[in-house]
Structure 1
Amino acid sequence: MKNIKMKLKRKELHISQTELAKKAGVTRQTIGLIESGEFNPSLKLCVAICKTLNVTLDEIFWEE
């Protein structure tokens, strides 16, 4: 399942995939794979992404 919420929040904050990846400690490709739904990140990575985007886990990773 694509993570559109993460992509929209990233774009809202004008953060590139590369910048988000650097701050989260992963590669740009990993961020792209998460956004496209091809990679299921660890909880540790989810927390790092949420801290960078200044959101909660529920806001980005909770499925409706």
Structure 2
Amino acid sequence: MNTAVITGSSSGIGFATAKGLLSQSNRIVMICREGAKSRSAQELLIESTGCSKESVDLI
């Protein structure tokens, strides 16, 4: 399992990149500015990919 650090991962290309990497069993670290939007994106990524909560860190 690789770890990827993704900026702007709460929407757009960053979100799509995060989703794609999680679908390939990678671990990601999300770096985002907006707290509530970031947590919502984190939950959506976990639900839509079926990955564990430990696979998605939020900074």
Report the TM-score when normalising by structure 1.
0.36
- Bigger helix share: 1
* Pair member with larger Rg: 1
TM-score (norm 2): 0.38
More strand by share: 2
